[in-house]
Chains A and B, each alone.
Chain A
Amino acid sequence: MINLLEIGEKAVKIAEKLNVSEAEVYLTQNTSRYCLLGNRVDIAKTSISSGFGIRVIIDKKIGIHGITSLQDKDIEKAVEKAVKIAKASDPDPDFKELNKKHGKTPVSGIYDKEIAEMDVEKTIEAANIMITSAIDYDEFVQPTRGIIEASTWKIAICNSHGIEAEREGTAINTWFRCKAKSEGKEASASESKQARRWKDVDFSEIATSAASKAVSILDATLIESQQMPVIWQNKFAASMIGVMFGGTIDAYSVQKNRSPWKDKIGQQIASENFNLIDDGTMEAGLRTRPFDDEGVATRKTPIVENGILKNFLYDTYTANKERRESTGNAFRSYNSVPLPAPSNLLLKPGDAGREEIIEETKRGLLVVDTIGEWLSNPVSGEMSATVVVGYLIENGEIKKPVKGIMISGNFHHIIKHEIELIGNDVTNVGGIYAPTIKIAEMTIAGKT
């Protein structure tokens, strides 16, 4: 086994000999086991990769360089290259210093022995479970594409302030798509799941969900353009929270004037039932870790509390700029500079079950899956999404499937004035966790 910390310490010393003010090394080692499927399993693979990233500072001038080799001679050259880049750069007056304080928050559920010790055969077996479950669901269903990827990684951080930190993690990412065909009609639908532990993924359930969605929308029709209540099923709610908050609550975007939330701390930006929290310590959370990519201990940071904007997320650089503490939200890869970003972003659940929310909707639209929602504008809050899986609700019951319609509205207005109910069925899309929510009114563009 390669000793990442040893390589890191050595590289910091090489940089110090070149008279840099500060140096930081970020090392990664990753094993990924993966299976790709079409109608059946197409190919399986194992990939082993490593990364070495060096950041040097010379009189507030920053140089970084990343390589995949961990060999001594390549590392030496990489450090020299980073120094060259730093010397060519202009000084950044906002840069104060690298992180000096290492901390570790106890977290659990982020390293799964079952994934770390598995063979690629396990992904192939899981793929077969998905294929057979989809076909078993209905004879008219055909699997068309899918991915199962299980990864195990180790990360090490060393810097010239004596920080030496190392952590491990595992994750699994699954995506499955199938097509239903009946009486000349065709429809496709997908399902996905990301988790930290193998046991948290039910492959049969993923395939059955995709298959049942595809079958359910075979008879989908276009409906008239109108205004009506819209229920955002949990995954769509999580996607929208991600699009609107994912890149706007980090201090870097705020300091760069790219966030609509700048100067709004302490203000009511959402209704009182709206609570958003960044939790880097969540049990088995997709982005949970004991410390961030600079070695700073992770924590819980309330973003919106009872509708009031409370905090932004910081790494060392953005925190130093405002003379405050990092919130442990630095994220980077071996070839990029750290930037603050959300860890696990959770919209706190309410009491309502999804069934209840549907039952008390006289007439409305249930939105399950969309495309194009990420084209919405997080600065102005203008949002739109094309519904690919959605159903009309009448008198508290799911009635007919709809297709080809677009929903639109302003997210900033919606979270302040239009959230009627928040469900209790939290699920995640990547690191964004949200329950189903009911919006009092949105615009639906359909038949004109």
Chain B
Amino acid sequence: MEEDFNKIIEEGLRLGAEYVDVRYQEIKSELIVAENGKFTKYESEAASGVGIITVVDGVPGFASTTIINLNTLLETVKEAVKIAKTSKKLSAKNIYAEVDSYSDRKEVTVKIDPFETPAEEKVGLIVDINKTAILSDEIKNVSTALGIESDKRFFLSSEGTNIRTQTVLTGLRHSSVAKVNGVMEQVRDAETFVGGYEFFKEFDAEKFVTELSKLAIDAAKAKSAKPGTYPVVADPDIIGLILHEAFGHASEGDLVASGESVLSGRLGEKIASEHVTIVDDGSVEGGYPVWYDDQGVKKTKTIIVKDGVLDGYLLSRETASKLGLEPTGNARAQDFENTPVVRQTNYYMEPGDYSLEELVEDIDFGYYIKGRGGGGGQVDVGVGSFIFNAGPSYIIENGEIKELVKSVSISGLILETLKSVNAVGKDFKITTSVFGGCGKSGQRARVGLGGPSVRIGKMIIGGR
């Protein structure tokens, strides 16, 4: 295959391109679902294809195909060059910033290939786990899913970069619906392991789903939070989501370069409290591994905010050149059919040195906001306003964590929120998910979310 791809690159150069890259990808996935003690569905997919970018006089053109043979690939590179030449008349130049070229192979360690595990075994496991979540008559619906994915990528460029990577994810998703005295409450959560089927040897799945059922019952019995503005402690799950959605996107180089982001032109400015240091890290325990991006640029740890001061952006080769900065390895494509756009990898706040007890001890009245059981939210990156659904959370009273309240919604303006961070916990957890990811420009990307627990001076809490 590599031989054919080299021929494609040569052909692109011969047709007048100054740069060509070829991305080949094989994605396999399975999803097995059980509901209320019974098997419900088994979905399975294998996709593969090639995407080719050619650059002619600084203007890119892209073409992709799922039909992989030398003739079709030659047609595809021809189309990519034609698009670049056509675009030249009307498009802005997108100069690629210079980068080093690499030749490398990286892959996730897999002890037991989840795709080779017999279908019967996987179905049996999920049905069994699902059954254990039916705790009592108060549980009205339980749904459990097993998700596995393998993503193999091969990147080859005319600058000599040659990178092969493979990631494998294995995960469990569960939702419990409880009804107590006519009040319904649903909580869901997922746990994903970067690796193979060995996950189920180590992970206590039964405990995981039983706890969710218990939480659903407790939340159905719980009172609602009192809407208003309060000091809060946000746990790693919810702080990770807020940072990714409300701040991370605003630090993406394309939105910064186009002027859409609230962070445009503010490097060096103090935009958060001095407790806040935020990074985007391609390799962190629990997160989604990104060793190289889809432009073949090495991804390391990028500092975005250092002690409250805006220190960097997430950049592709084009956005780096537009902003006069160095690429950070954040150009990511959902798949071979899509062109890379600036995306986060594992985006988080660096931990501080407070214990959870210390974080809550100075709060007279507020909430301990939990991410588990929540889901969904929306952000306006131009203004920095956000609204999220958190999960069932706890009241903080006289410096102590007290009773549970039903799921809450939280909202605010991200820069005001980050300025009111007055303590950062020493706990730290990053997770990724095989069941979802981040959406942008119609493309999905796997990311890692999380961080430490964080104390925030002011947050708007609503009921749900």
Q: A416 near B: Cβ within 8 Å?
A: no
Across the interface, A188 reaches (CB within 8 A) one of B39, B123, B382, B387, namely B382
Nearest to A65 among chain B residues (CB) is: B44
Known: A41-B92, A186-B382, A372-B387. A87 touches B119 (CB 8 A): yes
Q: Are B64 and A147 in contact (CB under 8 A)?
A: no
B445 to chain A, nearest CB (A): 16
Known: A42-B94, A43-B339, A44-B87. A188 touches B260 (CB 8 A): yes
Q: B49 near A: Cβ within 8 Å?
A: yes
- Which stretch from A13-21, A66-74, A158-166, A200-208 is at the chain B interface? A66-74
Most buried by A among B41, B66, B94, B318: B66
Known: A45-B83, A120-B83. A144 touches B44 (CB 8 A): no
Q: A49 near B: Cβ within 8 Å?
A: yes
Q: Are B94 and A335 in contact (CB under 8 A)?
A: no
> Bound complex: CA of A231 vs CA of B453, how far in Å?
42
Q: A398 near B: Cβ within 8 Å?
A: no
Against A, the Cβ 8 Å flags (1 = close, 0 = not) of B52-70 are 0000000011111111100
Interface size bucket, A side? 35 or more
- Which stretch from A121-129, A266-274, A422-430, A431-439 is at the chain B interface? A121-129
Nearest to A45 among chain B residues (CB) is: B62
Nearest to B26 among chain A residues (CB) is: A68
> Bound complex: CA of A101 vs CA of B224, how far in Å?
52
A44 to chain B, nearest CB (A): 5
Point out the residues of chain B lying under 8 angstroms from A375, CB to CB. 376-378, 387, 389
B15 to chain A, nearest CB (A): 15
Nearest to A46 among chain B residues (CB) is: B63
Point out the residues of chain A lying under 8 angstroms from B61, CB to CB. 43-45
Across the interface, A47 reaches (CB within 8 A) one of B39, B43, B63, B380, namely B63
Dominant secondary structure at the B interface: mixed
A34 to chain B, nearest CB (A): 9
Nearest to B261 among chain A residues (CB) is: A144
Against A, the Cβ 8 Å flags (1 = close, 0 = not) of B249-286 are 00000110111100000000000000000000000000
Q: Are A50 and B66 in contact (CB under 8 A)?
A: yes
Q: Are A88 and B119 in contact (CB under 8 A)?
A: yes
Q: Are A49 and B49 in contact (CB under 8 A)?
A: yes
Q: Are A388 and B380 in contact (CB under 8 A)?
A: yes
> Bound complex: CA of A42 vs CA of B84, how far in Å?
11
> Bound complex: CA of A89 vs CA of B62, how far in Å?
41
Q: Are A69 and B87 in contact (CB under 8 A)?
A: no
Q: Are B65 and A49 in contact (CB under 8 A)?
A: yes
Q: Are B63 and A67 in contact (CB under 8 A)?
A: no
Point out the residues of chain A lying under 8 angstroms from B385, CB to CB. 386, 404
Point out the residues of chain A lying under 8 angstroms from B122, CB to CB. 88
B60-86 interface (Cβ within 8 A of A): 60-68, 76, 79-80, 83, 86
Q: B118 near A: Cβ within 8 Å?
A: yes
Point out the residues of chain A lying under 8 angstroms from B19, CB to CB. none
Q: B42 near A: Cβ within 8 Å?
A: yes
B14 to chain A, nearest CB (A): 20
Q: A395 near B: Cβ within 8 Å?
A: no
Q: A116 near B: Cβ within 8 Å?
A: no
> Bound complex: CA of A246 vs CA of B63, how far in Å?
34
Q: Are B43 and A372 in contact (CB under 8 A)?
A: no
Q: Are B43 and A50 in contact (CB under 8 A)?
A: no
Known: A50-B67, A335-B43, A375-B376. A90 touches B38 (CB 8 A): yes
A397 to chain B, nearest CB (A): 27
Q: B237 near A: Cβ within 8 Å?
A: no
B16-56 interface (Cβ within 8 A of A): 38-39, 41-49, 51
Q: Are A89 and B254 in contact (CB under 8 A)?
A: no
Q: Are B42 and A45 in contact (CB under 8 A)?
A: no
Known: A45-B339, A386-B385. A124 touches B87 (CB 8 A): yes
Nearest to B387 among chain A residues (CB) is: A372
A167 to chain B, nearest CB (A): 20
Known: A36-B441, A124-B86, A335-B43. A49 touches B92 (CB 8 A): no
A91 to chain B, nearest CB (A): 9
Point out the residues of chain B lying under 8 angstroms from A187, CB to CB. 382
Q: A282 near B: Cβ within 8 Å?
A: no
Point out the residues of chain B lying under 8 angstroms from A62, CB to CB. 41
CB-defined A-B contacts under 8 Å, sample of 5: A36-B441, A39-B92, A49-B65, A375-B376, A375-B389
Additional A-B contact list (4), CB under 8 Å, known A36-B339, A66-B45: A40-B92, A88-B118, A89-B39, A124-B86
Spell out B's residues near A (CB within 8 Å). Answer: 38-39, 41-49, 51, 60-68, 76, 79-80, 83, 86-87, 90-92, 94, 118-120, 122-123, 127, 141, 254-255, 257-260, 318, 337, 339, 341, 376-380, 382-383, 385, 387, 389, 441-442
